[in-house]
Each structure stands twice: as structure tokens, then as C-alpha cells.
Amino acid sequence: MRSVYSTLAEHLPQPKRSGQSFIDVYIRGEGTSVVSGLSESCHPEIKMLAETVIKTLLDPNYGISINFYKPERRKFEERMIFKYAAKKLMEQNHIDVLILARVAHGKIDLQKFQMQLAKKLGIHKNEDNDDDDDDLDFLDDVLARQIHSFLEKRNFLFVSERYLDRMTLRRVGIPSDVRIGYYSKLVFVTATPMDFELNVLLKDTNATWDLVCAQVQEYTLSQWSTSGEGVIRETLFQFFDTKNIIECIANFPWFYYVPGWKQSWLANILVVECPLDVNTRFKLVDAMLNDLYELGLAFDESLIPENFKEVSSSVGDTLPNLEVLHCSDVELDKLFSLNGCPNLRTLTLGGNKNVEVLDVSGTQLNKFPIEDCTAVPHLRHMDIVGTKCLRAVDWKQIEWLPEEVNWNEFGGENSSVWPRQEVGDVLKDENKGRVYIAVGSDMIFKTLQSTSQLWGKHFSQFLECAGGSKRFPKYISNVLIHTEFLSLYDDRSIKRLSDLQVETMAELKECWIEKCYSMETIFCLQPSSLVKPQPVLGCLENLRISEVMNATNMCSFTGSLNRGSFGRLKHMHLEYCPRLLNVFTSGLCLESLEVVEIKFCARLQEVFSGKGYNVEGSFNKLHTLRLIELPALTSIIQDVVYMPALTKIKVKGCPKLGMLPLRYTTNNRASSSKHPIPLGVTSIVVSGEPEWWKRLQWADKNVKEHICFESWPLLKIPKRS
């Protein structure tokens, strides 16, 4: 892989910087403090190396000049360690001035070196005596004296990443002799020992990546660049920060050599807050890459930790501003993620046999990413989360879907739509390996026909409508034909569930309705208007209605429905429906009903109103009846019907309820007895308030004698501690 890195480096445009110098000067008490990417919480090994350097620099036995050397050195490693050490020396008042010099390879331009140092020290050249020569070794004696005068009476530390002999330093103006009463050190950091110098070997470190990150942070904080003072130099650090540069170092070489992606990477790596043309983006990226190359941070595989060395599966890590991506016949990894590309609008896939997991979450795609199974034949799982621009899908063109699809327009862990805890528990096992879709617009289903082959192969029979839309969702009719679990949550458009062609919901098993503030009647049925004389909601087993604030009736119809309508209804739960007057308005054979629970419905007067319930088989399985805080309730049912399975009745806050629906019935053996025993009565437990129990009326007092009454426990006030 090293050959790939070196090949890439050859294609990078190199700046004309032979012998060029880059000098930073820090003066204690003036300007900014020493910019260092290392903090007190840096790697312990780095701290130990820095402490060793500090100890050496403060040891008078080492003289004024020291050469620290390290074979196969990386300049940024020693640079960061020495800068951290120098910062400590300045904080401890050992030095007043710190001079850090980087000099590129080639013959050094001493003129520019001297002029740059003078400028950093605040010394300005006298333009009247401008007698510069083309000779790179020519130095200005006036500037040299001014530099020497500035440093002569100060404690200073000079650190150069290239060896400069003392004679050269004197000509520049840097004091190179021992001065009584002042601290000064001339430090060189090189790859080999130097003759006639005191040489100290630097140890290797295993904290290279920490030093990489420190150098990047220092680079962005200091805003140093090889690009000079032009427009690009001024613009560069408006768009690069420490995080995306580190990602660039870790990911760039891998994506650079993928065919067709070079320009995409260069044009899109920037996190751009305002529009920039492509050419400007290229120039900015080139400038940044040149800087990284100069700092020793680019095209070196050994810099990257093991967890970064695998080909990144997330394009969003490196192309955050990608808008168009064509991946046909490009070899991709098993996990291919576009999550993190918020501007992506166009995606084409084709011939990608390796991809098994596809994530297009958070993009602006307005077209379904796959339509043909030949594009990604081995795709098993697809995530489409937070894609609010994907509003229309041509289902007629889609003949295939992966085994698992998680399509949630609302996205994020804070979504109020999915997974709601109770819904998630119900569907956790049933929907495993199925397609889940949660969207805010029914336009998604406009072209989805009830006869589509996707129903039998892929789609789950679950539908949840949520999000507060005020437009009637007319395009979900074909979905409802196959829906087994329907959840309406926070809907503002549906006034009657029956408007969604309830007669076609032949497979509906569970229906949850919550916070639908426009709904007036849940089921408003006219038998004469039904398409076919068939049972209505014959498969419905569980009905849960909560906080439907404007509904006056749950099920209203005239005449009679066919036998089997609501015939499998087992559980009925209603709560917080303040305007509800009754539940059913006409007779039904509720032969499967087991539990009725109604709470906090202030105007409810009757549960089962009208007549026609007293038919064979009706209420045969009802075993639990809970009525809580229904102050207007006067009757559960007009007819006193036979409920042989009834064992629990709980009543609280129903002061107007004067009679329980208990029928006096005997078996054949007891019918001739002087005191026949009501079947099932001896097993009934009634929980309620004592005052209400005393006021209760009975069609036959013998029934009361065979019922076990339990008083609601009184509210206990905790004792004061």
C-alpha cells in the first residue's frame, strides 16, 4: 500500500519552496501565547519525552548549542514535542523569546530567512537603504545588528528543523555565544549527528497519531500555510477545521485512487457554508494538501492507526457536500453508507455485487435508490432515515426490495413516531426481516396498487399515520386493504375512520387511535352504502382509542350489520375522550369480546346503547369490565344479558351507574330447585366504592348475595418523617 501513497504524492502539484523558511516567534507578554496542539491531558509518553527535553535544555553542562537527532524522523513529531517543551519553559519564566524555524530542502534563502525573522520580531527594514542582492547568501548588516540588539538582553530559545552553523547564525543576527546572566540555547532537530556539536539521540514514540492530531490542531490554530498571503491563504482556514483535516489524512488516499472519485473528493471535502465554484474548491484543497505534505502529514500509511486503515464504508466521512454520485460498475464494500451527505440529490447504482447493506439516511434523494434487483443483487438491508425529500415513488417500476428496509422519514432517536414503546413491543418480533415505512405524506403510496407483488414478498401489514397533516390521506386506501395493524397518531385530517373505506379493511386485526383531534366518529357505517353485504372489520381483535377529544360516538350505524362484524373483537380500550356519549349505537353479536376498559370519558352515558345485543353467543367470553371515572355513565347496556365468563367488574367514579348487566340464569338441574343458583355469579368479584355499592339496584337480589364485593383501597397519606 505504500506504493499507492507514494504514487499519489507524485500527482500532487508541488509549490516552489526550495530553501523556503517558515518562522514563528513568540515573545512572553506580547501577542499570542505559544500555539501548541498538545494539552496537559496529552499522551503520557509524549509528556515523558517533553520532560526529558526540558531537563536537557536546562542542564548547563550541555552548553549553548545542542543537536537532537533521530534517524527516519518525522518532523512534526519532534516539532510538537519541542513546542510543548518550549511552552513549559516560557510559562516557568526560563525564556522570554521562542524562535521556531522550519526550512524546506534545497539551498536556504538567507535573505528571506533574515527578513522574515526581523519582521516576526517587529523590526522593519529601512527601505531607503534597499540594496538587496540576487545572491541568496547576501545579508543585511543593519538588520543583523537590530536582531542581535533585540535578543542580546533577553533569554531566548532558538529551535531549527535544519542545521545552521554558528557563523551563519551570527550573520543573521542571532547571538551564538554564551552570555553571562542570560539564558540562550541554539537547538537543531535533525536526522543524523552533526560534527562539532553536542548530539542527543531522541527516542521513538508509540503516540504518533496523537502527535498527528496535535500538529493538525496547531496548524488550524496558527493558520500557517505555504500558500503565502493571497486570497486562497485568507480563505483556506474559513473552511477547514481540525476534525475534517484529520478525516482527510485518514481517508483521503483510499478514496483518491478509486476511479472517477478523485475530482468528487477534491471538490467536496470542504464543509462549505457559502457557495464556491469548483475551481476555487480545487485550489483550496490543493493548498491544504501542500501544507500537509510540507508538515509531513500526507501520504504516509504508517501514520494512520489500524482502525483507520480499512477502506471507509461511509462516503459521508469524506464527501460531506456531495450532490451527485454515480457508482455503476464501481467496486464498493459490503457496507456502503451515504449517511452524512446531506446535499446528495442524485444516486445511481448498478453492477454493485458486493453491497449487502446500503444507508442513504439524511440525504436529499427524491427518487427511490433501487428499482432493479440486478443493480445490487446481494443487498439485504437498507436504511432510509430522515429523507424528507423522497416524496414520490413509482412502485410500478419496483419489483424487488431487500429483506429488511427501515424507511423512517422522521428519523433520529427523538422521533415521536417510531418506535413508540408500545408499538415497538407489539411489532418487534412480527416485523423482523420485513419492510418498515414511516412517512409524513401518503403521496409515497400513490402508485402502490393493492395487487402489487411486493405485498406478499416484502411489505409488513402495519401502517402508522402520524405527524399532524391537515390533508386527507386519500392515497393509503390500497395500503389499508392489506393492513393488519393500523395506528393513527396526531392526525388532523381524518374525521371518520370509515372515510378510509373501512369495508376494505378485511385484514385489520389491531387499531390504535391516539390524539386525532379532528375525528368526530370512529366508525360511521351505513349498511346500505357498503359495496358488498359482508361483515365489517371481521378480523379486528384489539381496539385502543385515546385522547380523541372531539369524538361523540365510537361506532354509529343504522339498521343492522351482517353477522360477524366486529365478531373477533377481544379487547376494547377507551380513555380520555371527553365528548364521547356512547360506544356502540346498535346491536351486534360481540361473541369474542373479552375485556372492556373505559377511563376518563366525562360525558359517556351508555356503553352499548340501543337494542339487539341479546343474541345467542353475544358476550359469551367477556370476563373483565373496567369503568373508571365516568361521571355521566347511567347504563352499561339496556338489556340484561347473559355473561357466563364475567369474573371481574371494577367501577370507580361512576356515581350514576345504577345497575350491573347480570342476568339470573339457571341450569337444568337447578331449574326445579326452590332457590336456583345463577350460573357464574359465585365467581364474580366486583370492586367499587362502598357508597356506590349500597345504591346499586338489582333485578334480582339473589344475584347480589352471590357476588364478592371488594372496596377500593382508600388513599393513604404517607407519614411525615
Query: What are the C-alpha distances in Å from 517 to residues 514, 572, 583?
Result: 9, 20, 18
Return d(Cα 700, Cα 704) in angstroms, integer.
8
**Averaged over 666-685, what is the pLDDT?**
50
- 606 & 708 share domain: yes
**Averaged over 165-192, what is the pLDDT?**
92
Strands 97-103 and 21-27: antiparallel
- 41 & 76 share domain: yes
- 150 & 268 share domain: no
CA pseudo-torsion sign 316, 318, 320, 322: negative
pLDDT interval class at 65 (50, 70, 90):
very high
**Averaged over 622-641, what is the pLDDT?**
89
Could you give the number of structural domains in the chain?
Answer: 3
**Averaged over 18-25, what is the pLDDT?**
77
Highest mean pLDDT among 38-42, 301-305, 585-589, 599-603: 599-603
Return d(Cα 444, Cα 388) in angstroms, integer.
11
pLDDT interval class at 348 (50, 70, 90):
confident
Q: Which range is least confidently modeled, 196-205, 276-285, 331-340, 559-568?
A: 276-285
On whether the pTM is more than 0.85, the answer is: no
With contact defined as beta carbons under 8 Å apart, do 433 and 489 qualify? no
Residue 507 in grid coordinates: 385484514
- Residue 80, phi then psi, degrees to nearest 5: -70, -40
- 229 & 151 share domain: no
Return d(Cα 379, Cα 415) in angstroms, integer.
26
Return d(Cα 705, Cα 684) in angstroms, integer.
11
DSSP letter string, 398-436:
-----SEEEEESS-STT-SSTT-HHHHHHHTTTTTTSEE
Q: Is residue 28 part of a domain?
A: yes
- 185 & 240 share domain: no
Amino acid 690: pLDDT: 92
CA 409 to mean position of chain CA atoms: 13
Which of these three, 256, 282, 303, is where a domain ends? 303
Which of these three, 184, 201, 218, is where a domain ends? 201
Which of these three, 153, 174, 201, is where a domain ends? 201
Q: Please give the angle made by the CA atoms of 193, 48 and 203, to the nearest 5 degrees.
A: 25
Number of Cβ atoms within 10 Å of the Cβ of 189:
22
DSSP letter string, 34-83:
PP-S--TTS-HHHHHHHHHHHHHHH-GGG-SEEEEE-TT--HHHHHHHHH
Q: Is residue 494 part of a domain?
A: no
pLDDT interval class at 444 (50, 70, 90):
confident
Structural domain boundaries enclosing 242: 206-303
414 contacts: CB under 8 Å, gap ≥ 6:
none
The overall average pLDDT reported for the chain is 76
Highest mean pLDDT among 81-90, 594-603, 664-673: 594-603
pLDDT interval class at 423 (50, 70, 90):
very low
* Cα dihedral 91/95/100/101 (nearest 10): 180
Q: Is the pLDDT of residue 588 over 90?
A: no
Query: 508 or 309: which carries more pLDDT confidence?
Result: 508
Q: Is the pLDDT of residue 667 over 80?
A: no
Q: Is the pLDDT of residue 412 over 50?
A: no
Return d(Cα 561, Cα 714) in angstroms, integer.
44
- Residue 130, phi then psi, degrees to nearest 5: -80, 90
Q: Is the pLDDT of residue 256 over 70?
A: no
User: Across-strand partners of 99?
Assistant: 25, 158
Q: Is residue 114 part of a domain?
A: yes
pLDDT interval class at 221 (50, 70, 90):
confident
- 241 & 97 share domain: no
Q: Is residue 224 part of a domain?
A: yes
Query: What are the C-alpha distances in Å from 198 to residues 61, 102, 417, 530?
Result: 10, 21, 71, 102
Residue 661 region, left (φ>0) first, then alpha (ψ -120 to 50), else beta? beta
- 51 & 173 share domain: yes
Q: Is residue 414 part of a domain?
A: no
Return d(Cα 439, Cα 464) in angstroms, integer.
9
- Nearest CA to 458 out of 483, 433, 487 is that of 433
Query: What are the C-alpha distances in Å from 649 to residues 141, 633, 685?
Result: 107, 15, 6
Query: Exposure pattern of 399-415 as b/e (b: 16+ CB <10 Å)?
Result: ebbbebbbbbbbbeeeb
Q: Is the pLDDT of residue 608 over 80?
A: yes
Q: Is the pLDDT of residue 271 over 50?
A: no
549 contacts: CB under 8 Å, gap ≥ 6:
517, 576, 577, 578, 579
For residue range 693-720, what is the model confidence (pLDDT) as tens digits? 999 988 777 778 778 899 976 555 555 5
**Averaged over 288-316, what is the pLDDT?**
63
With contact defined as beta carbons under 8 Å apart, do 581 and 553 qualify? yes
Q: Is residue 92 part of a domain?
A: yes
- 226 & 177 share domain: no
- 267 & 181 share domain: no
Strands 156-160 and 198-201: unpaired
Query: Exposure pattern of 276-288 as b/e (b: 16+ CB <10 Å)?
Result: beeebbebbbbbb
Q: Is residue 316 part of a domain?
A: no
Q: Is residue 594 part of a domain?
A: yes
Domain with residue 23: its CATH number is: 3.40.50
pLDDT interval class at 604 (50, 70, 90):
very high
Strands 648-652 and 624-628: parallel
- 270 & 184 share domain: no
- Nearest CA to 319 out of 376, 283, 281 is that of 281
- 653 & 702 share domain: yes
- 609 & 711 share domain: yes
For residue range 103-117, what is the model confidence (pLDDT) as tens digits? 877 788 898 899 999
Return d(Cα 4, Cα 21) in angstroms, integer.
30
Q: Is the pLDDT of residue 4 over 90?
A: no
59 contacts: CB under 8 Å, gap ≥ 6:
none
Amino acid 492: pLDDT: 79
**Averaged over 380-391, what is the pLDDT?**
81
Amino acid 679: pLDDT: 45
**Averaged over 139-157, what is the pLDDT?**
93
Q: Maximum Cα–Cα distance for the chain, whole Å?
A: 137
Q: Is the pLDDT of residue 656 over 50?
A: yes
Looking at the chain, the whole-number percentage of residues with pLDDT higher than 70 is 69
Looking at the chain, the whole-number percentage of residues with pLDDT higher than 90 is 23
Q: Is the peptide bond before 631 cis (omega within 30 degrees of 0)?
A: no
With contact defined as beta carbons under 8 Å apart, do 664 and 703 qualify? yes
Return d(Cα 669, Cα 691) in angstroms, integer.
37
DSSP letter string, 142-170:
HHHHHHHHHHHTS-EEEEESS---HHHHH
Q: Is the pLDDT of residue 389 over 80?
A: no
For residue range 526-568, what is the model confidence (pLDDT) as tens digits? 655 555 567 888 899 999 999 999 999 888 776 677 788 888 9
Amino acid 402: pLDDT: 81
